[in-house]
């Protein structure tokens, strides 16, 4: 198997899914009508509701949904099960479920006066759905914050060449915010300056590596080489599990990341978070565009970087630790989350994007098209880790992506530096926003009951402390899969809402209903499997060895898993009741699809 073949499969997937399936649903089921006024036109206020050109909205929506999720998921899945099941799920997931979820969430909002999913759920299903959504959101964010901080701290500890670029990125972000909002410098000039300097710093990584390696060594020397925390990691020793250590250097970088995220959470958005995301976007986009192009032509120009190095299939239930289970179903479907389907897209993207839809005919290209484009990002990550193959999964990804970039003549050493930096940047910029949303969620959810949570500093510190606790438990793989389960459960909730709405207006609900059932059953099963693994593969070994911190962390994760399952059951009960109620009502007279020019 080589990368050109995989890129062709990806392109065919996008084309066939869009033209043969998505367009039919848009035309004959949803019956989008270009002449119908959208909320953007009806309620235009120039801020929230603003009719926007389709192409601009496509770029905006794509940027709102594409980030680190499809990359990390593909890396982990290929490592656990091989590239073949990963590519199959990516292709089938996005073709039948992913685009439908994103597109339908936008349709739901557009056809319901631009209301958010929670408002529509309140009306169609039950009032308590909103409260459950808060619970989902907070724990979902906590899990992904722990997963992202953990993986970043690990990469920064192991890859000192990335540090200079990250430090300069933060500085350039602050400078960009000042330049745009205070000094009124033009965007193009400010972009060239800040992105250029950041890129130079990233490419200078190999030269600064020695300095930061010495720093890591000095930090580890503070405890005489003794680890701060020792824990049982089921992914070590060829997935049989072994003792792993959290050294002072890893803890230092985890705290450094948390300080950065704290600043991003409490400072005004224009000062730090927004410009850092903007600069980071350019770095990542450069790496991904060069990478995808390189993957397509590598077979002709540099064949040695185009051949897959990892096995196609590693088994239906690969071993993970002495007592863990990792069945292909349901775990693959939550390990690769965002590249195939993601609940977060429905929640956020539909609100901002749906209120800018100028014309109903734009709903499919913007919503469905963005998800199909994000699939390509997941595919690129899968190709990179499949050809990279050296070292830990993130290292394999960076080596693979660096190989693709080197096809364009960039020396391999710098290409790999850019790939590592792109990975950390895309995770880092999202993580600071995650903590921002976490503190607001905490305020909204618990602010009435626990007034100190309304304080942005208190809420931020609580969120960061909880995430750090999860990092210190060391069970990253289960953290990621629990996050994937929560994310996919939100997708199932969004699809459930769409199904109920379709039934309420007398439309064919199968295209959303069948994926709802599949996602719901799969994600609840995956959360239960993860809870089982956490208890028998992490909690018990650490309890027997007397390791308190990992025990507390894994115990907390088991509780979160059970809470999510209970919330999912409540939503399912309410959702099925609402669905049956609308199904029993007489349907309105069928309408013909509007004529298209």
Partner 1 sequence: MDTPRLPNWFGGAWTALRQFMYGLTGYEFSRHALAMRHEMEAVFMVVTLGDLTGVPILPPIYSLRLLPYVVPEIATWKRHMARRKEFWEKDEYDLHGL
Residues making contact with partner 1 (CB under 8 A): 43-48, 50, 53, 55-69, 116, 118-119, 137, 144, 180-181, 187, 191, 269-270, 274, 277-278, 281, 285, 338, 342, 344, 347-348, 351-352, 429-430, 433-434, 436-437, 440-441, 444, 487
Using CA atoms, how far apart are residues 531 and 521, in angstroms rounded to an integer? 16
348 versus 532: smaller Cβ distance to partner 1: 348
Cis? peptide before 330, omega within 30° of 0:
yes
Q: How far is Cα 299 from Cα 3, in angstroms, rounded to an integer? A: 7
CB 211 within 8 A of CB 192: no
Instruction: Enter the tokens of residue 534.
Output: 């956490």
Question: Between 39 and 515, whose beta carbon lies closer to partner 1?
Answer: 39
Residue 65 Cβ vs partner 1, minimum distance, rounded to whole Å:
5
CB of residue 127 to partner 1, shortest distance in Å: 13
Q: How far is the CB of 471 from partner 1 (least distance, A)?
A: 18
Cβ contact 299:6 at 8 Å: no
**Residue 21 CB burial class (10 angstroms; 0-12, 13-18, ≥19):** middle
Are 153 and 431 in contact by the 8 Å Cβ rule? The answer is no
**How far is Cα of residue 321 from the mean position of the Cα atoms in its chain?**
26
**The token pair that represents 444 in the structure block:** 């909204």
Which one, 278 or 404, has the nearer CB to partner 1? 278
**Least distance (Å) between residue 29 CB and partner 1:** 27
Q: Is the Cβ of residue 50 or residue 549 nearer to partner 1 in the bound state?
A: 50
Between CA 161 and CA 225 the distance in angstroms is: 22
Question: Which CB sits closer to partner 1, 252 or 344?
Answer: 344
Q: Minimum Å distance from CB 381 to partner 1?
A: 14
Our CB check for partner 1 shows the closer of 25 and 121 to be 121
Largest pairwise CA distance in the chain: 78
In the complex, least distance from residue 140 CB atom to partner 1, rounded to whole angstroms: 9
Nearest distance in Å: CB 241, partner 1: 29
Shorter beta-carbon distance to partner 1: residue 49 or 251? 49
Nearest 5 degrees, angle CA 195-CA 145-CA 418? 30
Residue 243 vs 444, nearer CB to partner 1: 444
Q: How far is CA 389 from CA 92, 234, 400, 406, 560, in A?
A: 25, 20, 7, 16, 34
Nearer to partner 1, 326 or 346 (CB): 346
Provide the minimum distance between the beta carbon of 55 and partner 1 in the complex, in angstroms, as a whole number: 4
Q: Name the strand (E) or helix (H) holding 396.
A: helix 393-406
Q: Which is nearer to partner 1, 106 or 250 (CB)?
A: 106
Rounded to whole angstroms, how far apart are CA atoms 6 and 385? 13
Whether 387 and 65 have beta carbons less than 8 Å apart is answered as: no
Q: What is the nearest approach in angstroms of partner 1 to the Cβ of residue 268? A: 9
Q: Are 229 and 549 in contact (CB under 8 A)?
A: yes
- Written as one string, the DSSP assignment of 114-141 is T--HHHHHHHHT-THHHHHHHHHHHHHH
Distance CA 343, CA 143 (A): 15
Q: Which position has the token pair 């693959």?
A: 332
Q: H or E element: which one contains 229?
A: strand 229-233
Q: Find the shortest distance in angstroms from Cβ 87 to partner 1.
A: 21
Looking at beta carbons only, is 125 or 416 nearer to partner 1? 125
Residue ranges of alpha helices (H) inside 474-596 are 476-504, 510-533, 540-544, 548-584
Nearest approach, Cβ of residue 484 and partner 1 (Å): 11
């Amino acid at each position: 198997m080589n990368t050109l073949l995989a890129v062709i499969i990806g392109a065919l997937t996008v084309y066939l899914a869009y033209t043969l399936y998505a367009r039919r649903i848009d035309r004959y089921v949803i019956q989008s009508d270009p002449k119908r006024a959208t909320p953007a036109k009806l309620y235009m206020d120039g801020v929230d509701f603003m009719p926007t050109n389709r192409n601009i909205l496509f770029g905006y929506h794509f940027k709102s949904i594409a980030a680190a999720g499809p990359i990390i998921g593909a890396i982990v899945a290929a490592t656990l099960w091989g590239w073949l099941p990963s590519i199959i799920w990516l292709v089938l997931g996005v073709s039948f479920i992913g685009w439908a979820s994103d597109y339908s969430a936008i349709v739901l909002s557009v056809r319901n006066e631009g209301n958010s999913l929670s408002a529509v759920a309140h009306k169609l299903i039950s009032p308590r759905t909103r409260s459950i959504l808060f619970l989902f959101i907070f724990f979902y964010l906590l899990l992904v914050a722990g997963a992202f901080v953990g993986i970043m701290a690990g990469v920064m500890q192991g890859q000192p060449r990335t540090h200079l670029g990250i430090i300069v990125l933060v500085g350039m972000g602050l400078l960009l915010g000042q330049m745009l909002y205070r000094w009124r410098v033009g965007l193009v000039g400010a972009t060239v300056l800040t992105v250029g300097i950041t890129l130079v710093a990233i490419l200078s990584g190999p030269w600064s590596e020695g300095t930061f390696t010495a720093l890591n060594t000095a930090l580890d020397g503070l405890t005489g080489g003794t680890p701060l925390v020792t824990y049982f990691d089921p992914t070590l020793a060829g997935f049989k599990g072994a003792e792993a250590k959290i050294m002072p250097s890893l803890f230092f970088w985890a705290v450094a990341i948390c300080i950065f995220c704290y600043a991003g959470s409490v400072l005004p958005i224009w000062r730090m978070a927004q410009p850092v995301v903007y600069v980071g976007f350019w770095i990542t986009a450069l790496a991904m565009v060069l990478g995808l192009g390189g993957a397509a032509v590598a077979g002709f120009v540099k064949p040695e970087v185009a051949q897959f190095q990892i096995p196609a299939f590693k088994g239906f239930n690969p071993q993970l630790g002495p007592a863990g289970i990792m069945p292909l179903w349901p775990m693959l479907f939550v390990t690769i989350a965002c590249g195939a389907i993601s609940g977060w897209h429905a929640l956020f993207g539909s609100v901002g994007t749906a209120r800018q839809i100028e014309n109903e005919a734009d709903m499919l290209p913007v919503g469905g098209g963005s998800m199909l484009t994000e699939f390509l990002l997941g595919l690129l990550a899968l190709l990179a880790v499949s050809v990279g193959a050296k070292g830990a999964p993130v290292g394999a990804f960076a080596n693979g992506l660096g190989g693709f970039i080197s096809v364009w003549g960039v020396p391999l050493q710098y290409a790999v530096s850019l790939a590592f930096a792109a990975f950390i940047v895309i995770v880092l910029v999202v993580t600071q926003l995650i903590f921002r949303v976490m503190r607001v969620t905490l305020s909204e959810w618990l602010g009435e009951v626990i007034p100190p949570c309304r304080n942005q500093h208190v809420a931020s510190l609580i969120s960061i402390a909880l995430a750090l606790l999860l990092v210190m438990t060391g069970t990253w793989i289960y953290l990621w899969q629990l996050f994937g389960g929560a994310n996919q459960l939100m997708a199932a909730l969004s699809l459930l809402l769409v199904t109920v709405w379709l039934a309420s207006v007398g439309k064919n609900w199968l295209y959303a209903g069948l994926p709802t059932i599949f996602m719901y059953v799969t994600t609840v099963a995956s959360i239960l499997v993860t809870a089982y693994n956490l208890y028998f593969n992490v909690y018990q070994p650490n309890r027997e060895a007397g390791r308190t911190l990992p025990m507390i962390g894994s115990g907390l994760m088991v509780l979160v898993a059970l809470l999510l399952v209970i919330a999912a059951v409540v939503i399912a009960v309410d959702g099925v009741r609402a669905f049956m109620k609308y199904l029993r009502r007489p349907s309105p007279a069928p309408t013909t699809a509007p004529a298209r020019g």
